Amino acid sequence: MKNSSCRLWPRPPAKNLLRSFALILLLAIESCAPAPPEVLTIRGSNTFGEDSPAITQQVMDKAKKRIGEVLNRIESTNDIKLDKKFINDLAEAETLAQSVMVDSEYAVVKRQLDNAIHQVRPGDTISGKAFADLMHRGSPLERATESTNPNIAFSAQQIEDALRDALQRSLSGDDLVNYRAARFQYKNMKTIEPLVNKSPDGNISPALLNERVTSSFPDRAYDTSGKNKLDRLAKIGQAFLKEPPSSMTSERSATMNVLKAAGEIAAATAAGHFLGIPAAAGSAAMTLGLGRLGGNALRSPTLTQMYIDRALNPRPPRTNALLDYARQLPPSTAPAPTALAPALAPPGGWNGGA
C-alpha cells in the first residue's frame, strides 16, 4: 500500500531539488561570512558613474573630473534662455535669505544674486562664457556654496540650482540627456562625499548613507518616481546590512528561534516525502542544520547581492499568456476549467504524476 503522506504534494522535478541543495551548500560555505560592505559601496559608486569596491579619494577625484568635464563643456557652449521660472526661483532665494539671515550673511548672498543678474544680455539670455565664469571652480558663487556658514551655503546653492535649471530647460537632444545625467551623478557624488572622509577603508556606512540621502533629497519621502537608485540603496542598506545595536543578542536570537521552528516543519516534510522515513525522525535530524543555514541566509553576501540587484533593477511581472487569452474571451466562448487544467497543472500533474 502506498504511503498517503507522500501524496500530500506532488514531487518537485529533480532540477528544483538540485537547486535547493545547491543553495544549501552555498549557505553552508558562507556560514560565517557577513554581508560585505563592498556590496553597498559598489552600488553606491555606480550612482555617480563609477564601479569600485571602495570609494576612496582617488575614486572621488576621478568621478569629479569626469563629471566636471561634461558639465563644463555643455555649460560653456550653450546660451541660457531665461524664463519666468528662473526669475521666480531667484526671487524665492532672495526672500528666504532676507527672512532668516543677519545683514552680514545677506550681503554675501545679495552679491551673488547681483552677479547673476548683471550677466543677462538683451533678449533675456546669458552667454555660455558668462555662465561658465559664474559657475565653475573658484568662482565667488562656487566658493559660497562651500561656505562653512550653512545659511550662506544653502542660499548660494539655491542660486546655482536656479541657473543650472534654466540652462537645462534651454537644452535639447544629446546635450540635454548628458547634462541631466551629469547633474544627477554630481548630486549623488556630493551626497556620498562626507562619508568618504569618515571611512578609513572606503566602505560606506548604511546608517550614515541613509541620513545623507535624507539630507540631500529633502522631498525624498514624497518621491514616487522610483528613479533615484541612491534612495533605494540607502533603504536596502538600512534594512538588511545594518548591524543591530546589541551584538548577537535579542534581535538575532529571536530570528534564529523563528528559523529553527521553520526548519522543523520543512525537515519533517522533506524527510517523509523524499526518504520515506517518519516525519518526526527527519525533523530531529535536520532541525539544527536548517536553522543555522536559515540564519546564514540573512547574512549571505551572495543573497544580499542578489537582493540589491533585483531591488535596483526590478524585473517586469510575469504573465500567463493562456490566462490572458482566456480573460479576453466572452463568457460564452471561454474555455471550460477542465480545458485549462492540464496546462496549468504543476510539474507531474495534480496527483504527483501517479
119-165 pLDDT, tens digit per residue, is 999 889 999 999 999 988 889 999 999 999 999 999 999 999 999 99
| Nearest Cα residue to 240 out of 22, 31, 27, 39 | 39
180 and 63 assigned to the same domain:
yes
Whose grid coordinates read 541543495?
21
* Shared-domain flag, residues 64 and 101: yes
User: What's the pTM value of the predicted model, to 2 decimals?
Assistant: 0.61
Both 154 and 230 in a single domain?
no
Q: Facing residues of 125 across strands?
A: 81, 121
pLDDT of residue 282: 47
- Does residue 274 or residue 59 have the better pLDDT? 59
Q: Does residue 40 sit in the same domain as residue 113?
A: no
Residues 123 and 34 in one domain: no
The predicted pLDDT at position 58 comes to: 94
C-alpha 162/C-alpha 292 separation (Å) is 55
- Assigned domain for 25 exists: yes
Residue 352 lies inside a defined structural domain of this protein: no
The grid cell for 67 is 563629471
- Is residue 253 very low, low, confident or very high in pLDDT (cuts 50, 70, 90)? low
- pLDDT band at 13; cut points 50, 70, 90: low
User: Are 194 and 260 in a shared domain?
Assistant: no
211 and 195 part of one domain:
no
Note the pLDDT of residue 277. Answer: 45
Whether the pLDDT of residue 80 is over 80: the answer is yes
> Are 136 and 20 within one domain?
no
pLDDT in tens, 164-200: 999 999 999 999 999 999 999 999 999 999 999 888 8
> Is residue 147 in a domain?
yes
Do residues 272 and 209 lie in contact, with contact meaning Cβ atoms separated by under 8 Å? no
What domain range includes position 305?
A: 13-54+205-314
Q: Residue 341's pLDDT is what?
A: 47
Q: What is the CA 349 to chain-centroid distance, rounded? A: 41
